[in-house]
Structure 1
Amino acid sequence: MGLILKFFGHKLLKLCLLLVAASILAFVLVSHSPIDPVQSYIGAEMTRVSPEQQEEIEAYWGLEKSPVEQYLQWGKAMLGGDMGMSLIYRSPVIEVIAERFLASFALMGLAWGFSGLFGFLLGIIAGMREGTWVDRLIKWYCFMLASTPAFWLGLVLLMVFAVWLGWFPVGLGTPAGILAEDVTLFERVQHLFLPALTLSVVGVSGIALHTRQKLIEVMHSEYIRFATARGESGLPLVRRHGIRNILLPAVSLHFASFGELFGGAVLAEQVFSYPGLGQAVVQAGLGGDVPLLLGVVLASTIFVYMGNMAADGIYQLVDPRIKRGGTSR
């Protein structure tokens, strides 16, 4: 019990330090942005607003203070559970993030699951068929995907399946003009399919190439040769001796890809106009919405960190030697 508390205490301390560093970096970058948050807040009516009214708006949002004072004021409110008000959405930041996070979580969860499953299967097939045309085809496919930008692939899928074939809607998370309670599950899946397919296809290459290389190393090891000499071969040999040894590194790598997954989600959500955190962070950056931008930065930092911590936890569950301070990593 003591080791568990020490483990989580250490992780919590690192998370707190990481959140402080990420928030400071994001605040410094936003402070040096050429975008005027007051102008973004007012919009096209900027010419009709007097200088006095602009000063009142700056005072209301605390923009007349120095960047250090603004950050300290935000940090004090943050410790009290108040993440501030969004300048763009005119709503509390916590509500905007909660609503957008559910949409992004559904998108990234599906993409993460499919990319891990198909990447792992392709890696096993390529590793079992090392040097054959199957192996070369899978490697070519993975290298092509690794060099393909997510937004470009999303545009291609959008043009083919939404515009030309008309099988899926062009964008958004739900049909336009329909109340949220009237949207069916099938309609939500239709709007979710293309963005999730874009993210999952892009994420396949890393898992597949890593799994392939690890399986090849395992298949050339001494104990595999010993198992082969005993008469084991083919898929049973790989299932019994290969997958067990390559599963742990693959799981760790897949959990560590949360950061890349979130970055890809930002681009995919922009292409498909999907109402998630990625779209919110772009709008916050372009609109100078500091409270929302900082809130999304903290939420994404926690999301990525929890993925890495989950990988560590799975390591300890799968390989007990790590608990005893082994060197299995």
Structure 2
Amino acid sequence: MLTTVLASLLAEIARRILRLVLLLAAVAVASFVLMVNSPVDPISVYVGADIAAIGPQQRALIAERWGFDDPPLERFGAWLGNLLQGDLGYSLTFNQPVGEVIAQRFLTSLALMAVAWLLSGVIGFGLGLLAGVHRGRTLDRVVTWWAYTLASAPTFWVGLLLLYVFSVWLGWTPLCCAVPVGVVADEVDLLDRIHHLLLPAVTLSIVGVAPVVLHTRQAVVEAMESDFVAFARAQGESTSGLVLHRVLRNAAAPALLLQFSSWGELFGGSVLAEQVFSYPGLGAATTQAALAQDVPLLLGIALFTTVFVFVGNQLGDLVHAWVDPRVRRPRLTAGRGVRARALAEEAA
């Protein structure tokens, strides 16, 4: 039995790794094709305002240095060969290796996304739980209306609104950046960093709350209408007891799955939020690389975000299966079926 389960586990891991490899290959090819066919002239972007001052020979030297005139297949093959050796290339925008740019910028974005992710999950689950328990009442209508409104609100619009209210009008939060302007990052203390982080994180969390609220509310409503809750209620169990012992876990499973699966939307929202607040994270680096036609950096970010989202989805599956044992039952049943067939063959 142990050998069968171990073999099944190894096969599942191999299947997921193969899926990730195929996904990375598809993302790399699609991203490269889109970038190569972009109408933006990379030499003009690289030189900047002095493009009119350089002659054909200088343009040729720049194109030769960065391989702009090489055939697309040759450029992609060279990039792929370096990638297999662990080299993501060199960024034209930041004049650094792509790996270093991604590592530095992602650490800045990680704090922003982590705070926003936690806030949206906790607040969204709490509001969804309250709305589901009080279905049809004023609280449910207000929370649902608020969630639908936020679900249709663009991230940059919410960010600009919060920026105007709390930074321009009230003056409670900074206007931009991850650290005070003119101060070296190493000299900034934790409180200043949190002060600059607060408004962008709140912007991301407000937008991310809506789907968690709506999915949690639906899960709570279904649980409250189930037979086992009706039976417990008939036995005299209170509403608070029903929520704590019978509804909470059923509602937590889909909420956690949704929360881990939202890493892609979280990164997409951070791109817009970082632009609004001039926050120097990976999202802002993505925008700069796209405007500058920085192919190595864009490809590196595309692959990195693919792995980032894939890991989030896999963690969501694992947490969902841990919280809701019913998800594991088909696999256990399949395992018993394999074992039963093996015993039957041995008996024959």
TM-score, scaled to structure 2: 0.91
Distance 1:327 1:144 in 2: 42
**Could you tell me which residue of structure 2 aligns to residue 150 of structure 1?**
155
**Could you tell me which residue of structure 1 aligns to residue 208 of structure 2?**
203
Distance 1:327 1:40 in 2: 57
Correspondences of 1:157-236 after superposition (within 5 Å): 157-236=162-241
**Could you tell me which residue of structure 1 aligns to residue 323 of structure 2?**
318
Distance 2:136 2:84 in 1: 57
Q: State yes or no: 1:77 paired with 2:82.
A: yes
Distance 2:329 2:220 in 1: 26
Distance 2:317 2:9 in 1: 12
**What is the Cα-based RMSD across aligned positions, in Å?**
1.4
Query: Which amino acid in structure 2 is aligned with residue 255 of structure 1?
Result: F
Distance 1:178 1:52 in 2: 42
**Could you tell me which residue of structure 1 aligns to residue 116 of structure 2?**
111
Write out per-residue CA displacement over residues 184-234 of structure 1, whole angstroms, 9 at most, x where no aligned residue: 101111111111000000011101111111111111111111000111122
Write out per-residue CA displacement over residues 263-309 of structure 1, whole angstroms, 9 at most, x where no aligned residue: 11110010001111111111111111000111111111111110001
Conservation of the 8 A alpha-carbon contact between 1:321 and 1:327: no
Query: Which amino acid in structure 2 is aligned with residue 286 of structure 1?
Result: L
Distance 1:3 1:142 in 2: 41
Q: State yes or no: 1:93 paired with 2:87.
A: no
Q: State yes or no: 1:9 paired with 2:14.
A: yes
3-state DSSP class of the match of 1:173? Answer: coil
**Could you tell me which residue of structure 2 aligns to residue 62 of structure 1?**
67
Q: State yes or no: 1:129 paired with 2:134.
A: yes
**Could you tell me which residue of structure 1 aligns to residue 338 of structure 2?**
none
Residue 30 of structure 1: which of 27, 35, 50 is its match?
Answer: 35
Write out per-residue CA displacement over residues 220-258 of structure 1, whole angstroms, 9 at most, x where no aligned residue: 111111000111122121110001111111111111111
Unaligned ranges ≥5, structure 1: none
Distance 2:273 2:12 in 1: 36
Q: State yes or no: 1:267 paired with 2:282.
A: no
Give the fraction of aligned pairs with identical amino acids, expressed as a percent. Answer: 48
Report which stretch shifted further, 94-103 or 66-75.
66-75
Give the greater-gyration-radius structure (CA): 2
Query: Which amino acid in structure 2 is aligned with residue 45 of structure 1?
Result: D
3-state DSSP class of the match of 1:125? Answer: helix
Unaligned ranges ≥5, structure 2: 1-5, 334-348
Count of residues in correspondence between the two structures: 328
Distance 2:327 2:195 in 1: 43
Residue 19 of structure 1: which of 2, 7, 24 is its match?
Answer: 24
Query: How far is 1:60 from its partner?
Result: 1.0
Distance 1:177 1:7 in 2: 52
Distance 1:224 1:321 in 2: 17
3-state DSSP class of the match of 1:247? Answer: helix
Distance 1:221 1:326 in 2: 25
Identify if the C-alpha distance between structure 1 residues 194 and 327 changes in structure 2 by more than 3 Å, giving closer, same or farther. farther
Conservation of the 8 A alpha-carbon contact between 2:79 and 2:88: yes
3-state DSSP class of the match of 1:325? Answer: helix
Write out per-residue CA displacement over residues 52-104 of structure 1, whole angstroms, 9 at most, x where no aligned residue: 11111111111111111111111111111111110111110100000000111
Correspondences of 1:240-259 after superposition (within 5 Å): 240-259=245-264
Distance 1:80 1:170 in 2: 42
Query: Which amino acid in structure 2 is aligned with residue 167 of structure 1?
Result: W
Query: How far is 1:325 from its partner?
Result: 2.6
3-state DSSP class of the match of 1:95? Answer: helix
Distance 1:38 1:233 in 2: 70
Identify if the C-alpha distance between structure 1 residues 324 and 220 changes in structure 2 by more than 3 Å, giving closer, same or farther. closer
Distance 1:46 1:194 in 2: 39
Query: Which amino acid in structure 2 is aligned with residue 39 of structure 1?
Result: S
Query: How far is 1:327 from its partner?
Result: 9.7
TM-score, scaled to structure 1: 0.97
